[in-house]
A and B are shown apart, each in its own frame.
Chain A
Amino acid sequence: MTLRRRVRKLILIVHLTVSVGWIGAVGAYIPFDITAATSQDSETLRTAYIAMALIASNVLVPLALATVSTGLVISLGTRWGLLQHYWVLISFLLTVAATVVLWLQTTGAISYFAAVATDPTTSAADVQTLGNTLGHSLGGTVVLLMILVLNVYKPSGLTRYGWRKQHEQRDPRTRTDAARSGR
């Protein structure tokens, strides 16, 4: 099913907004992560962990989910399709993987850090030994940038499914008998 032009443009606007916004939000998250990795002051660390949790749960996760869903809609609703071109398929898989890792981090380590940081009875030493998620946030940034590059350059490459689909569209004789009998 191909979306109408206006609807496609609208969904594309939303998709671009949330996906690029995701990259920007990670850029806002990383300084707090760096602070968590380098600071020795317990009060600064508490603030950083709380900020990390707020950004992750209220901004990053919703943007990631919106990116996956709008990406699905726009790929299935246009002639690009989800499975026909390698760049679309790989972008989608990378986005899903990044979303899953983000979700696991948010509900795991990040949430734990914030819970410890917000507890007034937690000692300064406990806060100082909590750690950071810098590996994940930097790795996630690299993955998001790779997806961005794929989406801008759209390197050529049809999957077998895409090749078959395009040939069916060009030559009705290559369609299956079942499809032909329905005409």
Chain B
Amino acid sequence: MGEPPRHSNTDDPEPRPDLRPPPAVPGWVKVSGIVALVLALLIAIVLLTGIGGPHGPARHEPSGDGAPSSAAGMHTVTGRVESPLAAGPTG
């Protein structure tokens, strides 16, 4: 990783208080910001209006009785899942 670019003014050898205004926000930052804002608004609209259906695990629950046909509705909050392959032989 190289060093950050030096923004020195080679025509001005003596350092003196810089009275220039701070640099403007670069164009690519403005464009990126607008794109991000539009995406955020779209996501907010989808979430608030429910166009895409419920968001979160609830959207993946089976229809009908609204729950899997087992007591497996609990999911781990730590994100850790034990693989059934790790289970030892039964019996």
Contact surface of A with B, Cβ cutoff 8 Å = 8, 12, 50, 53-54, 56-58, 61, 74, 78-80, 84-86, 90, 103, 106-116, 118-119, 121-123, 125-126, 129-131, 155-158, 160, 163-164, 166-167, 170-171, 173-174
Contacts and interface: CB of A to CB of B under 8 A. Distances in A.
Contact of B70 (A74, A122, A156, A166): A122
A170 B61 CA distance: 61
What does DSSP make chain A's interface, helix, strand, loop or mixed?
helix
B51 interface: no
B5 A156 contact: yes
Contacts of A12: 1
21 contacts: A12-B1, A61-B79, A80-B4, A86-B25, A111-B77, A112-B60, A118-B84, A121-B69, A121-B70, A121-B72, A122-B72, A123-B70, A125-B62, A126-B62, A129-B60, A131-B60, A155-B28, A157-B28, A173-B15, A173-B17, A174-B18
Contacts of A118: 72, 81-82, 84
B80 to A, nearest CB: 5
Contacts, number: 125
Give chain B's interface secondary structure class. Answer: loop
Contacts of B29: 86, 90, 157
A54 B83 CA distance: 8
Interface residues of B, number: 41
Contacts of B10: none
Interface string B44-67: 000000000000110111110000
Nearest to A52: B81
Nearest to B53: A131
Contact of A79 (B3, B15, B71): B3
A80 B16 CA distance: 23
Contacts of B3: 79
Nearest to B5: A156
